[in-house]
Structure 1
Amino acid sequence: MTGMSTAEETTGRERRGELGAFLRSRRERITPADVGMPAGPRRRTPGLRREEVAQLAGVGVTWYTWLEQGRPIKVSTQVLDAVARTLRLDGTEHEHLYRLAEVPTATLSDTVGTPLPPDVQTILDGLLPLPAVVSNGRCDVLAWNAAYAALFPRVVRATGCERNSMWMMFTLPPCCNPVVNWEEETPIHVAVFRHRYIRHLGEPGWKELVERLQAVSPEFARLWAASHDVAIPGQRTKVFRHHAGGEIRTRTTNLEITASPGVRVVVYVPTDEESRDRIGWLLANPEAAAPDHTH
């Protein structure tokens, strides 16, 4: 008897599988030359071999192999730190490694379904004319102001589980998708989402969203299976196309709501006067901001 439920065992296997895939993806991006080792003949892997990682990290080859294979072995922070240094993980990837290996770290949670503090909507409205939205870690859209509604009318008109920015990014057809630099943005969004997803591994709502996205979006399914990049949201320039307002360039800033763990305000600041004027025009002409067709 292990004392673990079937659900816990399943989650453990899934977590260890993610750990193995993540380690392989990080190992394959580092060449022998990067770490001062000779490439040697007949290499079958694009990056370091397992035994090379073990040697550089100062751990046993068998132990590291078992770790990549997802076997239920005990790990320490010291050993994981050595592996992280060898694989040149950044801070986000290092934390991701800890979570996958189930090493205790600072507890971070996403409170889903908890009412927002009463002043949040007042704050959102006070940010006008800047578009602003409140989202949780799963990218569910929880609250917004009029400028956000004007810029993203299809998001706010969606209902239930489809009022979700990840869902909209990967399911809206090109004629309706507001993201101009879609091919550039989608890998980043998946990397940020994966970083959050691992904190909620086994939770039905998160698992259901991933499964639904995999079923309807070949691109999401490809990125989810092929890339194990992780990232945290940062200030970036995002370019959107509105059917009536034209192209709008913004820079996003994420602000955490400490009273609601995992929930954040995202503010879209225009990067040029033309974009600022176009947002103002959409606010002044709400009938034009509405979607011009349906599917």
Structure 2
Amino acid sequence: MSDTAHTPPKHTVSPELGPLLKRWRKRIDHRRITGIDSTRRRLKPGLTQDEVASLTGVASSWYRQLEGGSPRPISEQFVQRLAMTLRLEEAERVILFQLALGHAPPPPRTAPDPASYANLQSVLDALLPHPAYVSNLWWDIVAHNKPQEDWFPWLPYEPNLMRFAFLYPEARDQLVNWRSDWAIPFLAQIRFAIATHPDVPELLQLRDDILDGNEEARELWADRLAQAHPDGDVRGFSLPFHGGQEIQVRIMAFAPMSHPELRMIALVRQ
């Protein structure tokens, strides 16, 4: 693997970055990460360099050189994946961007006003023990219940379902049969959403981010499939919460009448 999306760097990576990356990866609880061998005995806590490389989609030798202080051409997409993999807080994410790219990260997307979704939150909580969430038109998750965050610990770091599915290599391990059961129908949903809301810039940006950052998505997009929603689909997960054991869930999709632009999704384990 390699960081194929990079462009020639305009900023020299700071020598302070390597030691920070090493410290950040060593504090990670590997049991919360899917896509690595969490059963083998470890002499030290945290993630290895090879595991960080795998989870961020780059070659192990490339990442070792980055952590060792060798100048590397780095893309913003890679830095975003690295921040998510290392579970960085917002202040740490700012430091990572400054040291790696020489500029601050993009501002976080505006969080919704919790009061706007108070009634929906009560519905989500009533769906316990099933994980449930509400996403907006461009798949930002704007409300969720506790089981949803237990199942998907990436939520605090990447609130957009589609960006996680296509731009983070970890998703290929968590979403069983990634290409056929997730990537193809997800892209079909994005195409349908754009067809019905062609002037929403967030949808167009989502499409462009995914196609720019995922070569396989570009290939699948050419099939021009369209799908309105996943209601009733049965799909598989392999999640840290279940110890990596594969489980099947039925996706139940609803549209609140008071907010028809939103989607309410409940995951019912089969």
Q: TM-score range by the shorter chain?
A: 0.5 to 0.7
Query: Partner letter of residue 137 of structure 2?
Result: G
Alpha-carbon offset, residue 129 of structure 1: 0.6
Which position in structure 1 is the counterpart of 2:207? 210
- Output aligned runs, 1:134-173, within 5 Å: 134-154=134-154, 156-158=155-157, 162-173=158-169
Which position in structure 2 is the counterpart of 1:263? 262
Aligned match for 2:174, one of 156, 173, 178: 178
> CA–CA distance in 1 between the matches of 2:250 and 2:201?
33
Which position in structure 2 is the counterpart of 1:235? 232
| Higher gyration radius (CA) | 1
Which structure 2 residue ranges, 5 or more long, are not aligned? 1-110
The yes-or-no answer on 1:195 pairing with 2:201 is: no
Which structure 1 residue ranges, 5 or more long, are not aligned? 1-111, 272-295
Alpha-carbon offset, residue 199 of structure 1: 2.0
CA deviation string 1:115-141 (max 9, x = no partner): 634211111111111010101221111
CA deviation string 1:133-175 (max 9, x = no partner): 1012211111111111111111x112xxx41111111112147
* 1:244–1:148 distance in 2 versus 1, CA, 3 Å: closer
Alpha-carbon offset, residue 210 of structure 1: 1.2
Moved over 3 A (4+): 112-117, 174-177
Contact kept, 8 Å, 2:176 with 2:237, in 1: the verdict is yes
CA deviation string 1:72-105 (max 9, x = no partner): xxxxxxxxxxxxxxxxxxxxxxxxxxxxxxxxxx
> CA–CA distance in 1 between the matches of 2:258 and 2:123?
14
Contact kept, 8 Å, 2:151 with 2:240, in 1: the verdict is no
> CA–CA distance in 1 between the matches of 2:179 and 2:189?
15
Which secondary structure does the structure 1 equivalent of 2:268 belong to?
strand
> CA–CA distance in 1 between the matches of 2:131 and 2:169?
23
Which position in structure 2 is the counterpart of 1:220? 217
Q: Percent identity?
A: 26
Alpha-carbon offset, residue 243 of structure 1: 2.6
Alpha-carbon offset, residue 203 of structure 1: 2.6
> CA–CA distance in 1 between the matches of 2:199 and 2:241?
42
> CA–CA distance in 1 between the matches of 2:140 and 2:171?
23
Which secondary structure does the structure 2 equivalent of 1:116 belong to?
helix
TM-score by length of 2: 0.53
Task: Give the superposed CA RMSD.
Answer: 2.1
TM-score by length of 1: 0.49
Which secondary structure does the structure 2 equivalent of 1:253 belong to?
strand
